[in-house]
A and B are shown apart, each in its own frame.
Chain A
């Protein structure tokens, strides 16, 4: 029993320094989410903490504030989540071989596979004498702790102060724009990014913003366009 404890402690020690960049990032973004939730959307202070424990999907949690403020459309909420989080399918596919053989807390490792945790666990190699399973587990757990802490502090802070916050909701636009730009700078071809912007804008112009009706046609058009363009896009990738 004590040997397991020692193994876990060694893994936690080895994992912690790697998570420091995520610590600052998640505290900041989690706090922004918490403040937005309680200050602009008037949810109770504990709501951001609860959502961050149960849902734990950064950008989708921002989007879900907007969904909760709108009309009751459960299937739409599900579709929206599937589309927004579709990239996690790709993370899962990438981690199949790494996570499949794990024996401890595998379900939690898959549950906590956010963008940032993925970026660490896909690239990091633990030191020789550290258990890989527990190492990746603590990376995942520490990251979620940072996010929950940020969201909780933000939720409490937002419910205590009474500031003029007109325009604070722009933090979500800025965040998603920054994530889009990060990806833009990394990719060699912008076809998919531009399809996402263009087809969604077109759908919004056609259907209008009411009840988010434009989202589903936009998703369908994106998938159809990607299927049609598969040959040229994959040809370009192979070159």
Chain B
């Protein structure tokens, strides 16, 4: 991407962020009831969007064609999941998972 294209991309991300934060205040003035379907989506979309993001992160992992079939990714994600369910410590889970992945791709699955 050229610098101009990067700036446009950032502007789009900024626009999308501002839209999602301000839209409710523009659309639904205080005191007026919010449509039930919107409230329903507001409650139900967030978990689905998080699931989408998790998949988005592994989109380029060669699960089928690659030499290791995504083993370093799967192992590190399993470590993050186990650690987090056990200790519920965000820093520990992220730091240990990332360190594990870096070790695996630099020294084991090279």
Are the chains A and B members of one assembly? yes
A55 lies within 8 A of chain B by Cβ = yes
Report yes or no: B48 in contact with A193, Cβ–Cβ below 8 A: yes
Report yes or no: A25 in contact with B52, Cβ–Cβ below 8 A: no
Instruction: State in angstroms the CA–CA spacing of A63 and B72 once bound together.
Output: 21
Report yes or no: A81 in contact with B16, Cβ–Cβ below 8 A: yes
Which residues of the other chain, A, contact B98 by a CB distance below 8 angstroms? 167-168, 170-171, 174
Which residues of the other chain, A, contact B10 by a CB distance below 8 angstroms? 51, 54-55, 64, 68
What is the interface size of chain A, counting residues whose CB is below 8 A from a CB of the partner? Answer: 92
Instruction: State in angstroms the CA–CA spacing of A167 and B99 once bound together.
Output: 8
Look across to chain A and name the residue whose beta carbon is closest to the beta carbon of B18: A111
Instruction: State in angstroms the CA–CA spacing of A168 and B42 once bound together.
Output: 33
Which residues of the other chain, A, contact B105 by a CB distance below 8 angstroms? 166-167
Main secondary structure on B side of the interface with A: helix
Contact of B24 among A93, A167, A198 (CB under 8 A): A93
Beyond A87-B46, A215-B56, whether A56 also contacts B28 by CB under 8 A is: no
Report yes or no: A92 in contact with B23, Cβ–Cβ below 8 A: yes
Main secondary structure on A side of the interface with B: helix
Report yes or no: A174 in contact with B97, Cβ–Cβ below 8 A: yes
A128 lies within 8 A of chain B by Cβ = no
Contact of A197 among B5, B46, B51, B97 (CB under 8 A): B51
Q: Which 6 A-B pairs rank lowest in CB-CB distance, beginning with the nearest?
A: A196-B51, A81-B16, A92-B24, A196-B48, A90-B42, A100-B30
Binding site for A on B (CB under 8 A): 1, 5-6, 8-10, 12-25, 28-30, 34, 37-60, 72-73, 76-77, 80-81, 84-85, 88, 90-91, 93-94, 97-98, 101-106
Told that A68-B1, A177-B80 touch, could you supply 12 new A-B pairs with CB distance under 8 A?
A: A54-B10, A59-B53, A81-B12, A81-B13, A96-B24, A100-B30, A173-B57, A176-B50, A178-B94, A192-B51, A209-B59, A215-B56
